[in-house]
Structure 1
Amino acid sequence: MLKLIYSPRSRATRVLALLHELGALEQVRLEIVAIERMDGSGARDPRNPHPDGKVPLLLDGEVQIWESAAIIQYLADRFADAGLSIPPGDAQRGAYLSWFAWYAGVLEPVLILEFAGVQHPLLERNFRGKQEAQARLRQALQGRDYLLGERFTAADLLLHSAYAWMGKPGDPVIDAWVERCMARPGAAFARDFDSQMLAAA
C-alpha cells in the first residue's frame, strides 16, 4: 500500500485533496507527523523519513517520491482512470508536464521571494517577477476554465494551491480560476480534514 507522510495545513494538504479527487484515499495510508512550521513552532519528527524532515513524502514500497510536483504527477498517473492526468501520446501532455515544472521553477519561487520582500535583477531575470508570472497565468486562462481548457487536471490542483495558501492575486481571471479550484470536492475535503485534525490536537 502507498503511504503519504502528512502534516495538516502544509504543502501535503494539496496531495490529500488530490487523493480525494482521484478516489484513492482508501489505497493510501496517511502517516501523520510533526514538522517545523514557518512561525517557529513544531519540530522535526523522527518518524518522518523525508531527507529534509518535510512533507509531503510518498512511499511506494521502498521507493520515495518527494516534492509536491513529482508526487502529484505520480499519483495522477498511477490512478489515471480518474482523468486528472494527461497521458503520454496526448497532444496536451507536453503542456501538462510544463505546468508542473513551471510551478516549481517559477511560480512558487516568485511568490515566496515577493512575500519575503526580496528583490534583485538576477532573480527577476532567472525566475521572472510576480507581474510576469501572473501575466503568463492570465494568458493561459483567458477564455477557459482551467489551464488546459474546460477540463480540471492535476496541474490546476497544484498551481492554484499557491494562491489558495497565500491569497488570490486580485486579477479577475486568475481569481475566478482559484475560486473554481477551491470549490472542488477534494479541496473542501482536505480543508475539513485539516481543521478536524488541528481541533483534535
Structure 2
Amino acid sequence: MLTLYHAPRSRSSRIISLLRELDALDKVNIVIVDITRGDGSGAKDPKNPHPDGKVPLLVHDGVVIWESIAIIQYLTDLFPEKKLAPLAGDPKRGRYLSWLAWYAGVLEPVLIAEAAGLSHPYLQATFRGSKEMADHLETALTASPYLMGDGFSAADLLLYSPFAWYPEATPDVPAVKAWIERCAARPSVQWAADFDASQQVAA
C-alpha cells in the first residue's frame, strides 16, 4: 500500500506530476494535508506523520520516505516500466543520481539564498552562485534537449520545478529557457495543476 501526503501547490505537487508520468495514480492513496506556508498561512496538520509537518511524505507498507529526491528515486525504481530513470547497472545511472543530488546540494540552496538576498563568501564557496548554476545547466542542455539526453526523465521534472514556482530565477540562457518550456508543456504538469485546483476548491 502506497500513501502520499500532499499539500496542493507545494513541493509535493511535482510528486503528483511524477505519479501521472508513471501511470501510478491508481496505485497510490493521496492524503491531502495542510502545511505552514511561507506567507504565514496554513498550519501543521495532525494527519501528516512527517515530524516537521512538511510534504511530500510517502509511506509504503509502513516504510516512511521523506524528501522529494528520495521519493522520486523510490517511485521511479518501484515503477521502472515508464523508464523515467535509469536503473542500477545502467551506465547513465550515475549521471541521473548526480543531477538529483545537485538539485538538493546546489540548485535549491542557491535559489533560496538569492531570493532571501543573502550573500556571503561561505555560501559562494559551498554552493556556488547563479552564474555557475546557469553555466552547468547550459552545458547540459546545449548538448541535448533534456538533462539525460533526448528523453524526458524524473531529473528534468525535479530540476525544472523551482523555475515554474519562481520564474524570476530563470537563467537568461536560451537553451535553459527552451528546456523549461518543454518541461512545463508536459501533460502531467497541467494534470497536477488541475488536481491541486480541484482539491483547494473542495477544501
Aligned length: 201
Of residues 191, 196, 199 in structure 1, which corresponds to 2:198? 196
- Which position in structure 1 is the counterpart of 2:155? 155
> Secondary structure of the equivalent of 2:31?
strand
Q: How does 1:40-51 map to 2 (within 5 A)?
A: 40-51=40-51
- Which position in structure 2 is the counterpart of 1:128? 128
- Which position in structure 1 is the counterpart of 2:108? 108
Q: How does 1:29-68 map to 2 (within 5 A)?
A: 29-68=29-68
- Which position in structure 1 is the counterpart of 2:90? 90
- Which position in structure 2 is the counterpart of 1:185? 187
1:188 is matched by which residue type in structure 2? Q
The offset of 1:199, in angstroms, is: 2.7
Q: Aligned pair in 2 of structure 1 residues 62, 155: CA closer, same or farther (>3 Å)? A: same
Q: How does 1:2-41 map to 2 (within 5 A)?
A: 2-41=2-41
> Secondary structure of the equivalent of 1:142?
helix
1:125 is matched by which residue type in structure 2? A
| Contact in 2 for aligned 1:2/1:27 (Cα 8 Å) | yes
Runs of at least 5 residues in structure 2 that lack an aligned partner in the other structure: none
| Contact in 2 for aligned 1:96/1:155 (Cα 8 Å) | yes
For 1:169 and 1:36, locate their aligned partners in 2 and report how far apart those are by CA, in whole Å.
29
> Secondary structure of the equivalent of 1:5?
strand
| Contact in 2 for aligned 1:100/1:155 (Cα 8 Å) | yes
The offset of 1:89, in angstroms, is: 1.3
For residues 70-109 of structure 1, give each alpha carbon's deviation from its aligned partner in whole angstroms, at most 9, with x where no partner exists: 1011101100001101011111110000000000010000
| Contact in 2 for aligned 1:163/1:169 (Cα 8 Å) | no
For 1:196 and 1:116, locate their aligned partners in 2 and report how far apart those are by CA, in whole Å.
31
- Which position in structure 1 is the counterpart of 2:173? 171
1:174 is matched by which residue type in structure 2? V
For 1:155 and 1:34, locate their aligned partners in 2 and report how far apart those are by CA, in whole Å.
27
For residues 34-72 of structure 1, give each alpha carbon's deviation from its aligned partner in whole angstroms, at most 9, with x where no partner exists: 000100000000110001110000000111100001101
